[in-house]
Amino acid sequence: MGREVIKEKLGLGGVAIGNGFKVLSDIEAEKTLKAAWDAGIRYYDTSPWYGLGLSERRFGHFLHNKKKDDYILTTKVGRVLSATKNIPETMWNEPAPFDYKYDYSAKAVRRSIEDSLQRLGIESIDYVFIHDLSPDHNDEYKDGTTWLDHFEVARKGAMPELTKMREEGLIKGWGLGVNTIEPIVKTLEETDADPDIFLSAIQYSLVDHKKSLDELFPSIEKHNVGLIAAAPFNAGLLSGQGRYNYSGDMPEEKVKRLNGIKEIAKKHNVDLSTASLQFSYAPKIVNTVLAGASKPEQVQENAKAFDIKIPSQFWEDLKKEKLIDERAEVPE
């Protein structure tokens, strides 16, 4: 444990580039990626799942013109894509023409990475995350299996295979990329796997962070592995979009908390997106914050967010009103 992991302050996530919330043209995607590069962002995260291969293709189209040593790239495994004329119904808008199958076996992981390298058109991937091996996907497995069934496949297949690939020098390291905390803790506490870094999405934000403080952070610290805090805006809620965690459902308790935070932000003239990014990066245990974008301006604003000084009274008021946990580390 304790190997080298990602240390970039901010990375660009690939959901929006894969037409996650609306259709982007290739040109719009390219402009957003260029804006990220020009803003100094050097960590890029994508997945075969995002746009059914579309996000990887777009990231690769931009990054293959850059020197590989100048940036960090992560992608994911867990679904194997196959070409089809009957594109399945998914969250993606106008995705690439592929179907997918969940497969966390060693053979599928090896194939998935080879497929990703071909879509990306680059020579290597730095870190690989086992994707969506998580209870929030129980309804999506097509054969009646549960995430625990797939976890057992991954424990015997994907996890040792990724460790082997790290030892072979094909990747620098691996972990899980999930929207819930249980799989990360289970991997660390209940297996003999040897992961390097985890991507935890939607679990450490201004409106949702207690469970990370209670369960995730102690386990990450105990095992001395890296942590990426992804989707600090809860996929749009904290950046002014009418959605919460990749869907249109807006839980009443989260909206109430959000409105309270907004009031205090207004009082101190604090931009909510800026506060969200700084909050997610503040814990010493967090290596990197990963945020998506669909426009150049969004990337530029995200990159500038860390240069803005937020008054300490803002954070004190949030804790006083019990809008954020009193244990939460805040920017200095």
Closest CA to 51 of 91, 4, 111, 11: 91
CA torsion sign for 93, 95, 99, 104 is negative
Q: Known catalytic residues?
A: 50
Distance from first CA to last CA of the chain, Å, rounded? 29
H or E, element range at 108: helix 106-120
What are the backbone angles phi and psi of residue 248, rounded to the nearest 5°?
Answer: -85, -10
What is the 3 state secondary structure string of the chain?
A: CCCCCCCCCEEEECCHHHCCCCCCCHHHHHHHHHHHHHCCCCEEECCCCCCCCHHHHHHHHHHCCCCHHHCEEEEEECEEEEECCCCCCCCCCCCCCEEEEECCCHHHHHHHHHHHHHHHCCCCCCEEEEECCCHHHCCCCCCCCCHHHHHHHHHHCHHHHHHHHHHCCCCCEEEEEECCCHHHHHHHHHCCCCCCEEEEECCCECCECHHHHHHHHHHHHHHCCEEEEECCCHHHHHHCCCCECCECCCCHHHHHHHHHHHHHHHHCCCCHHHHHHHHHHCCCCCCEEEEECCCHHHHHHHHHHHHCCCCHHHHHHHHHCCCCCCCCCCCC
